[in-house]
Amino acid sequence: MKFQRLALIGCGLMGGSFALALRQAGLVQHITGFSASEKTRQRAVELGVIDQACDNVAQAVQGADLVLLAVPVGAMPSSFAAMREALQPSALLMDVGSTKCDVVAAARAALGERLNCLVPAHPIAGKEVAGIEHAESTLYQERRTILTPLPQNSIRQIKMASEVWTAIGSHVSHMTPEAHDATFAAVSHLPHLLAFAAVNALTAQSKGAGFLEMAGPGFRDFSRIAASEPAVWRDILSANHAEVLTQLAHFRSALDQFETALQSGNTAALQQLIQQASEVRSAWTLQAGNACNKASED
Amino acid sequence: MKFQRLALIGCGLMGGSFALALRQAGLVQHITGFSASEKTRQRAVELGVIDQACDNVAQAVQGADLVLLAVPVGAMPSSFAAMREALQPSALLMDVGSTKCDVVAAARAALGERLNCLVPAHPIAGKEVAGIEHAESTLYQERRTILTPLPQNSIRQIKMASEVWTAIGSHVSHMTPEAHDATFAAVSHLPHLLAFAAVNALTAQSKGAGFLEMAGPGFRDFSRIAASEPAVWRDILSANHAEVLTQLAHFRSALDQFETALQSGNTAALQQLIQQASEVRSAWTLQAGNACNKASED
């Protein structure tokens, strides 16, 4: 498997790291790139992430046998529309969005007969720091990537998508877009929402700054994801709001149980609630993929 | 500063680490220890953490010029009562409880004229794994320790307490017990409660186990504190329930704002809420002490 031409739409951390990884694995000959910001696409050339900066999506996609769409979820509909005419019928198109149902809906609305090109992907990787400057070829190593294939995809195309991610060190799983979004609302989107709210709850208090000075390693880790990029997470939470609200309702039920136990001084109930959480979390370990349990400690 | 005899009441992770650190710093000649479990105190002798296992609190405290009370917060009242008669008038007594108002109240009720011996302490250190087996002399290094001195304490005694923690690598701050409990309800106790509730919310769902298999590094860090020891956190949350409930109310207000923005599809409001959290958390760094900003990455 070797691609003649990768078109990178969105030259940021995710896209840039994908390009670097593909190049390092010797899987691609030429990389064109487009970013909304001209400065960013020039920087991508300077850093050797892409070979050629293009002025628009269509120009970048022209002649590409592999296209990676790595823009914020909110910018995907217009990107799909912009590439439709330029997309080769045999091209493999993947996105890296953290939500999938909305991406599929946007693609369905904009790609027309080219919908079959798209194998939606969600590599579970990232950093708190965004931007092309932080791109690195190892970002996807030992990480899980979820593919949510469409009925329109060919077996050959799904296999190729899987091989690309595997070749750059990722562990590939398949899910439906719906199962994907329900799952990540539970284990990623809601935790982000809770971390954001916890930080805002501190800031809202007059003594909040003083409180924060005394916070320790527990708070550091608990709140790490609250430093995530606002525009990215606005899009993720908006796109998946129905599932996120469902998870929030589950969380509120669990929280109510703690509040009731605290208010009534029911220490036995409190201990039982904590014990349940502690046992589940102690038994849990980060899975790098179905075939590999090696934890990647980032 | 050198102590003739340290009495360790509670031979677990916190107490054991304190004993090891003091010994390594050459600050103590002889260490007696008591734990409710005979097996634990024998193990503490075997591991060289204590020199002599005692059958009860009074026996361990007899003749000690330094006493560390490192039992769960719930066991402190009975421990204070048990040591009252045996405590030397000049002894320095410290606890390591994560809450302070309740410890002070228990000491006031049980210690009588020996109340002046107690300089309440809260070293902000720990691990998810408990027990004497995991004790290590470096546990308090580059960590903050809060002292909440009492009006009954002498200047000399407060200075000595401060020097002990400084000598084993900790950065010492002073607060009132009330300010301490309000602060840690905000930056520690509530985050634990939220992490416990988040894990329970997953477990309560039929698909929860499947969701958990797909969780990534964000969830790992966010939920790390949910693995904390149930009995310890039952006691902390119970002891500080008033402040925790106050913080929970602040959190619910912040959470409501997110929910409203999600329900109404107000992406501008959503972005603003996230941005506020992201900026505060990005600017925040773990402080090891007032005089030292070096972050200790555990």
What confidence tier does A191 reach under pLDDT thresholds 50, 70, 90? very high
Across B205-226, average pLDDT: 94
pLDDT tens digits, one per residue of A35-67: 999 999 999 999 999 999 999 999 999 999 999
What confidence tier does B288 reach under pLDDT thresholds 50, 70, 90? low
Q: Is the pLDDT of residue B249 over 60?
A: yes
Nearby residues of A156 by Cβ (< 8 Å), 6 or more positions away: none
- B208: distance to nearest CA of chain A, Å? 8
Minimal Cα distance from B260: which residue of A?
A245
- A140: distance to nearest CA of chain B, Å? 12
Across A147-151, average pLDDT: 97
Count of CA atoms in the C-beta half-sphere (13 A) of B89: 1
- Which chain B positions have a beta carbon within 8 Å of A267's beta carbon? 234, 238
Give me the percent of chain A exceeding a pLDDT of 90. 88
Question: d(Cα B274, Cα A232) in Å, to the nearest integer?
Answer: 10
Going A81 to A86 to A87 to A89, the CA torsion angle's sign is: positive
- Which chain A positions have a beta carbon within 8 Å of B171's beta carbon? none
- Whether residue B214 and residue A262 make contact (CB cut-off 8 A), yes or no, is no
Q: Using the 8-state DSSP alphabet, how is residue B285 labeled?
A: -
Would the pTM of this model clear 0.90, i.e. be above it? no
Cα-based angle B12, B88, B23 (whole degrees, multiple of 5): 40
Least confidently predicted of A77-81, A121-125, B24-28, B239-243: A121-125
- Whether residue A215 and residue B270 make contact (CB cut-off 8 A), yes or no, is no
Contact present, B149 and B174 (Cβ < 8 Å): yes
pLDDT tens digits, one per residue of A91-108: 999 999 999 999 999 999
**Cα Rg, chain B, nearest whole Å:** 21
Contact present, B73 and B103 (Cβ < 8 Å): yes
Q: What is the ipTM of this complex?
A: 0.85
Among all chains, which residue has been given the structure tokens 């680490």?
Answer: B17
- A278: distance to nearest CA of chain B, Å? 4
pLDDT given for residue A78 in this prediction: 96
CB pairs under 8 A between A and B: 293
pLDDT tens digits, one per residue of B62-88: 999 999 999 988 899 999 999 999 999
The whole-chain average pLDDT of chain A stands at: 93
- A44: distance to nearest CA of chain B, Å? 25
Give me the percent of chain A exceeding a pLDDT of 70. 96
What confidence tier does A294 reach under pLDDT thresholds 50, 70, 90? very low
3 state SS for chain A: CCEEEEEEECCCHHHHHHHHHHHHCCCEEEEEEECCCHHHHHHHHHCCCCCEECCCHHHHHCCCCEEEECCCHHHHHHHHHHHCCCCCCCCEEEECCCCCHHHHHHHHHHHHHHHHHECCEEECCCCCCCCHHHCCCCCCCCCEEEECCCCCCCHHHHHHHHHHHHHCCCEEEECCHHHHHHHHHHHHHHHHHHHHHHHHHHHCCCCHHHHHHCCCHHHHHHHHHHHCCHHHHHHHHHHCHHHHHHHHHHHHHHHHHHHHHHHHCCHHHHHHHHHHHHHHHHHCCCCCECCECCCCCC
Taking domain A3-175, whether its CATH number is 3.30.460.20 is answered by no
Can you say how many angstroms the Cα of residue A88 is from the centroid of all Cα atoms in its chain? 26
Fold for B179-283, please state it. 6-phosphogluconate dehydrogenase C-terminal fold (1.10.3660)
Contact present, B97 and B104 (Cβ < 8 Å): no
From the list A182, A183, A234, which residue is nearest B271 (CB)?
A: A234
What confidence tier does A171 reach under pLDDT thresholds 50, 70, 90? very high
What confidence tier does B296 reach under pLDDT thresholds 50, 70, 90? very low
Q: Is the pLDDT of residue B298 over 90?
A: no
Q: Which of B178, B203, B280 to mutate to test the interface with A (most CBs of A within 10 A)?
A: B280
Question: d(Cα A66, Cα B12) in Å, to the nearest integer?
Answer: 58
What confidence tier does A274 reach under pLDDT thresholds 50, 70, 90? very high
Question: d(Cα B152, Cα B117) in Å, to the nearest integer?
Answer: 8
- Which chain B positions have a beta carbon within 8 Å of A274's beta carbon? 196, 228, 230, 233-234, 237
- Whether residue B187 and residue A204 make contact (CB cut-off 8 A), yes or no, is no
Phi, psi of A124 (to 5 degrees): -85, 80
Residue ranges covered by each domain of chain A? 3-175, 179-283
